[in-house]
Structure 1
Amino acid sequence: MAEPLTRSTSTSHTSLISLEKEQTKQNHHIISSPPSLKDPEKASPTPQDPPQPTPSQRPYTPLHWFLVLLAVYASAFLYGLDNTIVADVQAAVLETYASVEKLGWLGIGFPLGSIATILSLGKAFSMFDIKALFVGSVVMFSAGSALCGGAPTMEALIVGRVWAGAGGAGMYLGALNIISYNTTEFERALYVGILGLTWGVGCILGPVIGGSFADSSATWRWAFYINLIIFGVIGPIMVFLIKPLNPRPDLPTGQKLKHMDWVGVVLNAALYACFVLVFTFGGAQWTWDDHRTIITFVFFGVTIILFSIQQYLPLFTTISDRLFPGDFLKSRSMVLLYIVTSAANGGLFIPIYYIPLYFQFVHNDSAIDAAVRLLPFICLNITGTMANGLLMPRYGYYAPWYLLSSIFILVGGSLMYVSDAATSNGAIYGYTILIGFGTGIVQQAAYSIAPAKVGMQRIGDAIGFINQAQIGSIVIGLTITSTVFQNIGYKHLSSALAGQGFSGEEIHAALAGAKSAIFEGASEETKARAVDAIVKAIADGYILVIAAGALMMVCSLLLKKEKLFMAAAAGA
């Protein structure tokens, strides 16, 4: 029998996964040691973790521990909330700034800030004082939120979104570390599971809360200011009640800084930034043959090559200190899990952003009404996630879940692709329910599977690896879909409105919402043609959902048909 599972904070997700084999009459778990990868790399020795406290030995009184949990769960909720809160305020924001070509940045900016920094922050949390990093991340998130709320320009709003995304990633990692260090193995799974659920609830409620503010006298700016109010209430708990915790007291600060993979930090951030820049500006603000587009493409390709070489050799770092756990690429299962996780989360977030947009154009819905129409999708997504969390660890087989998910996503995505403005609301609800349930039954599954596929010392790396797939897919999916909407939407509208005398600027403005010149002053027939063209552009975005479902189906057939002992885990 393996020794009890210990805490791992070497990467972005430092949740502890207990592999459940059987349960005694006293409900104590016997931990089963998972198999290691075929070609594991030898990790450098790490210092012994502090003794795991029992509830009575925890350095908090029961009241203080309750308040600490309230603070860390609130931070996880807000991190999830800001992932999707702009999904239903896009029209209101664009009415303020009239920058339709930058529409995609509203959704892309936040996860871009997270994916560009989350591996780096994960390394930092494994060495530096956890409280200091957590509070610092909260300050970053709050500052970014304040900038978003008070942004005088669209550019300032975008900067605030990226800034808040980086702070949000640190908040979530800090919450995981605080819980991991202050709970026993038997209670930890519950606390971490609640953390993941809290993040998920935030993601789900984002469009509804954002839409409510957009339709109120408070305006869309309070969708961001609300973060400051909440942190104003729980901030004293973070500053005065959370205990400092140094995971590497054996190393001075100078040595800790040397263990950071600084070259990898820069290249990783540059890689995602170049990707977003080229696909956001290309075709919208810059033509595809513009020298700026070409140069950005070149920088993107060079950055991928440099980061791959730097991590593989490794250069200016060590195998144990490098950001990306490249040895996982030698494992078929880990690579396939990375791909199916990316496909599932890409298929999830595209509808979250574009279902409200559909109803705003077709039915001239307010932001809150459009958000309410997301509820069938959201409810079935939650149902699917709960079903997977309860049943997959119990029976141990995971490959069938991905096959079933791919079928739902493929069917739902295909039906949304062929939908138009005349499609009934009931049909749209049904189609999106298929996608919602299909993504729900696997979107968190890999956080339980991946740790069971590696050695115990690599559990933190495995969770970070899957987290990279999850957050990265949000950035990639929303970036590509935004490019499709802006470029294809303009072509469809130009064709539909040919000969009507509308300028290119007015056609671009029509993509922003119903208050453009086309929708305010044109005839009903012209408005109908414009709506049909825009809905077609939205439908074209579901090509990516269809591709995600097809890719997942192929990968699900390649996954091993094995049974694992696993327990539910939290991911974000």
Structure 2
Amino acid sequence: MSLPHQNVDEPPSDSSTEAGVEREHKQENEMSHDPVDLQDVERDTTEAETDIHPRKDLPTWKWIFTIIALGLGAMLYGLDTTIAADVQASVYEDLGDLENLPWIGIGFSMASVAVILFVGKSFSQFDVKWVSNSSVFVFEVGSAICGSAQSSNALVVGRVIAGMGGAGIALNYFSIFGTDKEAPLLNALIGVCWGIGAILGPVIGGAFSVSSASWRWAFYINLPLAALVSPIYFFVFPSHNPNPSKSVLQKLALLDWVGGILNIGIWVIFMVLLVMSGSRYAWDSAFSIALWIVWGVILIAFTLQQRLSLFTELRIYPVHFLRSRTLVLLYITTGCAAAANAVTLYYIPLFFQFTRNDTALDAAVRLLPFICTFIFFILLAGALLPVVPYYPPWYIVGSCLILAGGACMFTIDATSTNARVYGYEILIAAGSGLTFQNAYAIAAAKVPKEEKNSVIGFINVAQMGSTAIALSIGGSLYENVGFTFLKESLGQFGLPDPAIRSALAGVDSPLLTTASGQIKELAVDAVTRTISTLFAMLIAAGALGLVCASLMRWEKLKLERVAGG
């Protein structure tokens, strides 16, 4: 079977170190039963590979329909990642419970990253077609629960279920049936689809929230869209069973259930701590301290369990990737781009709602400069990656643009012109577009064929994990810093704390709809100051990305096949 092959010119200065790491890792894998390692082993294994095209028996029309369906799946995944950004005020008006609002957005991405490694390992054991279809089914169940929710708690549960299903809508088909020369463009196309969904999320959510259909159709919309392409999922998607010699029960027994449960605990508790500490519970409260201790214990247990491969022969976390400087730096830079993208998508519409009195739809439409620029630069980076021999420049330029855009957004206030904000959006969109998706193709080029599913999961964690963390930190800062700023501005009026805090829910909150002009003006200024403060996160992301990009190897990455086709 023909496997794609990459030739990577290693710098002489790193060769001895890399060789030592490879020898150590080979020894580790002999003990842990993990697939063997990266570039040195890749060069050995490819010598024995044949030149059969990975789609030798797959008709072209089936492959085209598969790409289209995967693109739509990625778009729905992106849509649900951000669709809550512009429906929160309507949800609050309908269901109440201000403290649950952050979970409508965070719950989806939290659940995705909590299970994405476990789902990734499932792709290495079970037929890719049925893992994908099962994931879509779970995603749709979660969407149905969200649309029919009669309480904010039910809505959050639906978001979590949908996020777990979304974790299986991944790029694994491309690692199986795509060639390495195709990988950058295919990954870019899926990244564009995800980006279109993520950026249209606030637009579609805002449109439904102000229509007679209500915010519920922001979640119900997934059902007819999935039904539209379900024949492709069931009858066209190619099958690939990576482990046909084992039964279903044997495969289930191989999965790392202990690691999967511990990983879920790490992400869920961490998100709870970030969101609830300071707003619902004081940082130094017994609850917060106890939860930090529990989180630390689970993190230590997971680290030991994964390092020693306890209770499993197929650990979910690719520990050996941490020995590769390139993979670690790709992980961090991808995370920085995802964080910048998430914060911009969530808080730019909110800025316009408060300062321009926009409807949810109008505010979301103001993201169009971001949408067009982000899509263009994802495609540009993906198309040119096989052409430009070095990849660090993409990350250096992209990180600089994120840093510049974040610094500019940090200076905005309620009087900032639309053109000024649009310009800053474009800087952030260009920077995040250049660095958002290429890591999938680069990382896949750095590992042998049997590691491609694992490396896709590794980068997925960077993307979704950073999105979840950024939204959680952003939500915590918005709640805590926003309340502080509002208290400073409105304290003279003797308003109760719950009323002051409710202003953060949006311009339709009880306080802002009934307040005098002076109170509303002061509240808007305080919230705007809060939103601008959040963009300090982009300054940090851009600076960290720039440091990591500067540490990347200046190596030629040749994305091409040896032969075949």
TM-score range, shorter chain: 0.7 to 0.9
Is 2:348 the partner of 1:355?
yes
User: What secondary structure sits across from 1:218 in the alignment?
Assistant: coil
The structure 2 residue matched to 1:302, chosen from 287, 297, 301, is: 297
- Alignment partner, residue 165 of structure 2: 167
Matches within 5 A, 1:206-245: 206-242=201-237, 245=240
User: What secondary structure sits across from 1:565 in the alignment?
Assistant: strand
User: What secondary structure sits across from 1:101 in the alignment?
Assistant: helix
- Alignment partner, residue 86 of structure 1: 84
Contact 2:124/2:453 (8 A) holds in 1 = no
Letter in 2 for 1:147: I
Q: Deviations over 1:178-197 (max 9, x none)?
A: x6656677777766654443
Contact 1:408/1:438 (8 A) holds in 2 = yes
Change (3 A) 1:203 1:230: same
Q: Deviations over 1:378-429 (max 9, x none)?
A: 2222222222223333122222222222221122111211211111111111
The structure 1 residue matched to 2:149, chosen from 145, 148, 151, is: 151
- Alignment partner, residue 11 of structure 1: none
User: What secondary structure sits across from 2:536 in the alignment?
Assistant: helix
The structure 1 residue matched to 2:545, chosen from 540, 548, 552, is: 552
- Alignment partner, residue 115 of structure 2: 117
Give the Cα–Cα distance (whole angstroms) in 1 for the partners of residues 87 and 490 of structure 2: 27
Contact 2:184/2:441 (8 A) holds in 1 = no
Is 2:532 the partner of 1:539?
yes
Q: Deviations over 1:9-61 (max 9, x none)?
A: xxxxxxxxx6489xxxxxxxxxxxxx987523346598x99996787833x69
Deviation, 1:94, is: 2.0
Is 2:84 the partner of 1:102?
no
Change (3 A) 1:55 1:465: closer
- Alignment partner, residue 432 of structure 2: 439
The structure 1 residue matched to 2:464, chosen from 468, 471, 483, is: 471
Is 2:187 the partner of 1:205?
no
Give the Cα–Cα distance (whole angstroms) in 2 for the partners of residues 181 and 203 of structure 1: 26
- Alignment partner, residue 367 of structure 2: 374
Contact 1:417/1:539 (8 A) holds in 2 = yes
Letter in 1 for 2:327: M
Is 2:263 the partner of 1:268?
yes
Give the Cα–Cα distance (whole angstroms) in 2 for the partners of residues 343 and 232 of structure 1: 35
| Aligned-CA RMSD value | 2.9
Change (3 A) 1:398 1:294: same
The structure 2 residue matched to 1:413, chosen from 406, 409, 429, is: 406
Is 2:323 the partner of 1:330?
yes
Matches within 5 A, 1:249-268: 249-268=244-263
Give the Cα–Cα distance (whole angstroms) in 2 for the partners of residues 165 and 474 of structure 1: 13
The structure 2 residue matched to 1:39, chosen from 4, 11, 21, is: 21
- Alignment partner, residue 32 of structure 1: none
Give the Cα–Cα distance (whole angstroms) in 1 for the partners of residues 191 and 529 of structure 2: 36
Give the Cα–Cα distance (whole angstroms) in 1 for the partners of residues 560 and 494 of structure 2: 62
Contact 2:187/2:382 (8 A) holds in 1 = no
Give the Cα–Cα distance (whole angstroms) in 1 for the partners of residues 7 and 298 of structure 2: 42
The structure 2 residue matched to 1:387, chosen from 367, 370, 380, is: 380
Deviation, 1:268, is: 0.8
Deviation, 1:145, is: 0.1
Give the Cα–Cα distance (whole angstroms) in 1 for the partners of residues 560 and 344 of structure 2: 29
Deviation, 1:452, is: 3.0
- Alignment partner, residue 430 of structure 1: 423
TM-score (norm 2): 0.87
- Alignment partner, residue 28 of structure 1: none
Give the Cα–Cα distance (whole angstroms) in 1 for the partners of residues 510 and 537 of structure 2: 31
- Alignment partner, residue 292 of structure 1: 287
Give the Cα–Cα distance (whole angstroms) in 2 for the partners of residues 563 and 186 of structure 1: 14
Letter in 2 for 1:305: I
- Alignment partner, residue 31 of structure 1: none
Letter in 2 for 1:407: C
Give the Cα–Cα distance (whole angstroms) in 1 for the partners of residues 552 and 180 of structure 2: 30
Letter in 2 for 1:281: M
Pick which of 142-151 and 120-129 moved more: 120-129
Structure 1 spans left out of the alignment, 5+ residues: 7-17, 22-34
- Alignment partner, residue 26 of structure 1: none
Letter in 1 for 2:57: Q
Letter in 1 for 2:135: S
The structure 2 residue matched to 1:277, chosen from 264, 267, 272, is: 272
Give the Cα–Cα distance (whole angstroms) in 2 for the partners of residues 37 and 354 of structure 1: 46
Give the Cα–Cα distance (whole angstroms) in 2 for the partners of residues 69 and 378 of structure 1: 22
TM-score (norm 1): 0.86
Contact 1:36/1:454 (8 A) holds in 2 = no
The structure 1 residue matched to 2:485, chosen from 475, 489, 492, is: 492
- Alignment partner, residue 511 of structure 2: 518
Q: Which structure features the higher share of helix residues?
A: 2
Give the Cα–Cα distance (whole angstroms) in 2 for the partners of residues 170 and 340 of structure 1: 23
Change (3 A) 1:309 1:55: closer
Change (3 A) 1:385 1:234: closer
Deviation, 1:233, is: 2.8
Give the Cα–Cα distance (whole angstroms) in 2 for the partners of residues 101 and 166 of structure 1: 22
Contact 1:138/1:167 (8 A) holds in 2 = yes
User: What secondary structure sits across from 1:266 in the alignment?
Assistant: helix
Matches within 5 A, 1:166-205: 166-172=164-170, 176-177=172-173, 194-205=189-200
Give the Cα–Cα distance (whole angstroms) in 2 for the partners of residues 351 and 102 of structure 1: 21
Change (3 A) 1:251 1:36: farther
- Alignment partner, residue 398 of structure 1: 391
Change (3 A) 1:547 1:181: closer
User: What secondary structure sits across from 1:396 in the alignment?
Assistant: coil
Contact 2:109/2:468 (8 A) holds in 1 = yes
Contact 1:98/1:512 (8 A) holds in 2 = no
- Alignment partner, residue 336 of structure 2: 343
Letter in 1 for 2:224: I
Q: Percent same amino acid at aligned positions?
A: 43
Contact 1:81/1:202 (8 A) holds in 2 = yes
Change (3 A) 1:368 1:37: farther
Change (3 A) 1:528 1:380: same
Give the Cα–Cα distance (whole angstroms) in 2 for the partners of residues 238 and 566 of structure 1: 29
Deviation, 1:90, is: 2.1
User: What secondary structure sits across from 1:566 in the alignment?
Assistant: strand
- Alignment partner, residue 12 of structure 1: none
Change (3 A) 1:20 1:379: farther
Contact 1:506/1:516 (8 A) holds in 2 = no
Give the Cα–Cα distance (whole angstroms) in 1 for the partners of residues 391 and 54 of structure 2: 33
Contact 2:7/2:559 (8 A) holds in 1 = yes
Give the Cα–Cα distance (whole angstroms) in 2 for the partners of residues 193 and 439 of structure 1: 13
Give the Cα–Cα distance (whole angstroms) in 2 for the partners of residues 259 and 498 of structure 1: 59
- Alignment partner, residue 131 of structure 1: 129
User: What count of residue pairs does the alignment treat as equivalent?
Assistant: 535
The structure 2 residue matched to 1:528, chosen from 498, 512, 521, is: 521
